[in-house]
Structure 1
Amino acid sequence: MALTIATWNINSVRLREPIVLDLLQQEGPDVLCLQECKSPAEKIPLEGFRALGYGHVIARGFKGYNGVAILSRRPMEEVCARPMCGREDARHIAGRVEGVTIHNFYVPAGGDVPDRAANEKFGHKLDFLAEMRGWFEAERPERAVLVGDLNVAPREDDVWSHRQLLKVVSHTPVETEALEAVRAAGGWTDVTRRHLPEGKLYSWWSYRARDWDAADKGRRLDHVWATPDLAEGASESRILRHVRGWEKPSDHAPVFATFET
């Protein structure tokens, strides 16, 4: 049975409910994982999602910041919501659909200065990635998918200019090495790059650009990974770049992958 999973940093699910509904209507993923919902779980606008068949929802969140949610049109049970780095800050939730565990992460952005000593936010980001690595070393995942805004563009062709971004948070060597350590610890396969192995590939374009599409100074911050038992059956990956151009958009585009379960 095919299972299509999408991940999207929505940058306020209440503000951008109309485009979430548009995506669900036009693309119909079986599961949609959202990050940066910026809403308490009880105030996520579920009525419209349920009307489209997405009646299974798990979420954690706060007003105005962070927050993760998983919407599914197939039965789903909550697995866990891990308080990463000892903080109850709604950056992880996991559910199980059709025997597949889906981890939804929102890794801290890390601020503007790539120096732990000078920037507490950067230190938090590195600690978060280290805890992810330790978790998956201790509990090797099986039949699992990991998605989310991981806030790291790991490859040289995951950014518009490798040379110019080497000292910019999200593409520094310490971050890319930390993310690779997480991936290796869990035996995860980067499904997006497995299907789209060559060339520049982005999922985020800054709001600061006057014309984001023409400037095209993007980064691939949003990821879909899978354990080997599922990665072999992954049949398609897509980044829906055009969604970045919808009315009142998020600065991220949705990333899709389909698995044979």
Structure 2
Amino acid sequence: MTRTSIASWNINSVRARIGIVEKFLREDAPDILCLQETKVECGLFPKDMFEKLGYKHIITNGQRMHHGVAIVSKVPLADVRKYDWQANGEARHVGVTLPSGVRLDNVYIPAGGDIPDRELNPKFGQKLDFLGRMIEWSGVLGEPTILTGDFNIAPLESDVWSHKALRDVVSHTAVEIEILAKLQAASSWVDLGRHFIAAPTPLYTWWSYRAKDWEASNRGRRLDHMWATPDLLERASAHRIVQPARSWERPSDHIPLVTEFAF
């Protein structure tokens, strides 16, 4: 077995923020990087920088101006799978198989709009339905699998800056937390973030652009996650977030998270 590091980052436009992606890859050098919200069609994905740094294996599920996911890797990727859980053409899920036989799935779950009510806000219903279809998918997985990405849900009280203030705000409502728990139970997924950084320690991966000083106010949420099926837990050795990235030039409102594995 060899050390393999897997990173995940909602970059909020890979072309607009290619400079900080390069900075991250040069400084942290993960073996694999899963990107969400790439906002670029597959044919226009900026491959040159990645290939220059040794990321020769690039799989994209892209869309013009919206959504989009990609996996860039120093190791070969096989068995590419793309899923459209809403049957509406949105590019939100791509999966591959690593040389070790481990599956890696990268997902960008819909944010769900501003009103946590299916009747008043169709986007919220779409989010719940997206997760419902992922629960069906998760329930029949047969291989060791890593699921990562922007889940757009902060499930624990210590995953948000204020449970009291946010319990009726989309991303931290009871109905979202409940359906995410059903997804987690469908394959007995291990939440690696909380396995290595246990609650009630605060842990955030997103800070709003609206904050004048995001670091001082620290009104964060843990919207980004990395899960693994139980058969991979003993192969995971560390998990961390790269919080300084939130202060880099033209930052994403999300930061990268990185897990180290042996396989």
TM-based fold match above 0.5: yes
Q: What is the CA deviation profile of residues 150-200 of structure 1, one whole-angstrom value per residue up to 9, with x for unaligned ones?
A: 000000100000111000000000001111100110121001110000311
**Out of 102, 115, 124, which is 1:100 matched to?**
102
Q: Which residue of 1 aligns with 2:15?
A: 14
Tell me if structure 2 keeps the 8 A contact 1:234–1:257: yes
For the residue of structure 2 that corresponds to 1:256, the secondary structure is: strand
Residue 244 (str. 1) matches residue 249 (str. 2): no
Unaligned segments of structure 2, at least 5 residues: none
Supply the AA of the counterpart residue of 1:236: A
Amino acid at match of 1:54: Y
TM-superposed CA distance for 1:87, in Å, is: 2.4
Match of 2:172 in 1: 171
- 1:226 aligned to which of 225, 228, 240: 228
How is 1:1-261 mapped onto 2 (pairs within 5 angstroms)?
1-98=2-99, 99-137=101-139, 139-198=140-199, 199-261=201-263
Q: What amino acid sits opposite 1:70 in the alignment?
A: I
Whether the 8 Å contact between 1:230 and 1:260 is mirrored in structure 2 is no
SS in 1 for 2:68: strand
Residues 35-77 of structure 1, C-alpha deviation per residue, up to 9 Å, x if partnerless?
Answer: 0000001111110110000010100111211000000001111
Check conservation: 1:141, 1:186, Cα contact below 8 A.
no
> Structure 1 pair 121/38, CA: closer, same or farther in 2 (3 Å)?
same
- Following TM superposition, by how much is the alpha carbon of 1:128 offset from its aligned partner in structure 2, in angstroms? 0.6
Aligned residues: 260
Q: Distance in 2 between matches of 1:74 and 1:135?
A: 26
Secondary structure of 2:9's counterpart equals strand
Question: What is the CA deviation profile of residues 208-239 of structure 1, one whole-angstrom value per residue up to 9, with x for unaligned ones?
Answer: 00000001000000000001111222100001
Distance 1:3 1:31 in 2: 8
Q: Conserved in 2, the CA contact under 8 Å of 1:103 and 1:146?
A: yes
| Cα distance, 1:141 vs structure 2 | 4.0
Matched residue type, 1:101: R
**Which sections of structure 1, spanning at least 5 residues, go unmatched?**
none
Runs of 4+ with deviation above 4 angstroms? none
Paired with 2:247 and 2:48, the residues of 1 have a C-alpha distance of: 25
1:238–1:255 Cα contact (<8 Å) kept: yes
Are 1:61 and 1:68, in contact at CA under 8 Å, matched by a contact in 2?
Answer: yes
Which residue identity lines up with residue 65 of structure 1 in the other structure?
H
Tell me the distance in 2 between the aligned counterparts of 1:172 and 1:95: 31
Q: 2:138, 2:49 → 1: CA distance?
A: 36
**Percent of pairs with identical residues:** 49
Single out whichever of 234-243 and 83-92 deviates more from structure 2: 83-92
